[in-house]
Amino acid sequence: MSWPSMISRCSPEERSLLLENLLWKQSKQILHNAQEIAWKSSFIAASLRQIRDPNFCTQAKQSPIRWIFAVKVINKIVNGPWSSWGPKAALVYEALAVKNYNLSRIGKRSESIKENVIHRVIAKLEKSLPEVSFDTYPFHPAGCISCALNIEHVTKIIFEWKAGACLTFP
C-alpha cells in the first residue's frame, strides 16, 4: 500500500500522530547530520592550521587548539591500519565524525600515555579489516583540502608519517 493511500484511510488524529512522529524522526536525523558536518568542518579547519603552522602550540584549552591536537592523534591512528586496510582506513574519520568524538579525554594526558593509547587503538583496528564496499568515498581530510585548494600532495604536508606510508586520495 502506498503512503498517500495509507494516509487517506487514517483519521485526522492518526494523520497528526504520523506527521508528529515523522517530524521527530526528521529532527533527530537533521541534528545528527549537522553534528557530523560540524565535526568534519572542524577537522579540516584544524588540518589547514597544521599545514600553515605545523609548530603551533597545542597546549591551550581553546576549542580550535584541541582540534589541532585531535588532528595529530587521529591522523596517526588512521595511518596505523593504512598499510593493511588501504583506503578503508579513512573509515576511522567517518566513525569518529558519526560519533562526534574528538579525543578530548586523552588531550590532557602525558605524551607517553597518548602514544600508548594511539598504539593500542591501532593494534585493535589492525586485527579486523572492515568488510565494506565503497558506494561513496569516505571522508578524507587530505582529499578535501587537495580538491578545495587545487593543490597536490597535501597528504605529505598534513600527515607526519614515515616515507612510503603517506595516505593518498583516489
| Predicted pLDDT at 134 | 62
Query: What is the pTM for the complete model shown?
Result: 0.73
For residues 168 and 68, what is the distance between their CA atoms, to the nearest angstrom? 21
Q: Which residues of the chain have pLDDT under 50?
A: 157-170
Angle, helices 12-52/91-99, rounded to nearest 10 degrees: 120
| Predicted pLDDT at 59 | 52
pLDDT tens readout for residues 15-49:
888 889 889 999 999 998 999 999 999 999 998 88
What are the residue boundaries of the structural domains of the chain, listed by start?
12-158
Q: Which three cell numbers stand for residue 135?
A: 558506494
| Predicted pLDDT at 85 | 85
| Predicted pLDDT at 165 | 38
Q: Which three cell numbers stand for residue 23?
A: 517530524
For residues 76-100, b (16+ Cβ closer than 10 Å) or e, as one string? bbbbbbbeebebbbbbbbbebbeee
Q: E strand or H helix at 49, and its extent?
A: helix 12-52
| Predicted pLDDT at 83 | 85
For residues 39 and 103, what is the distance between their CA atoms, to the nearest angstrom? 12
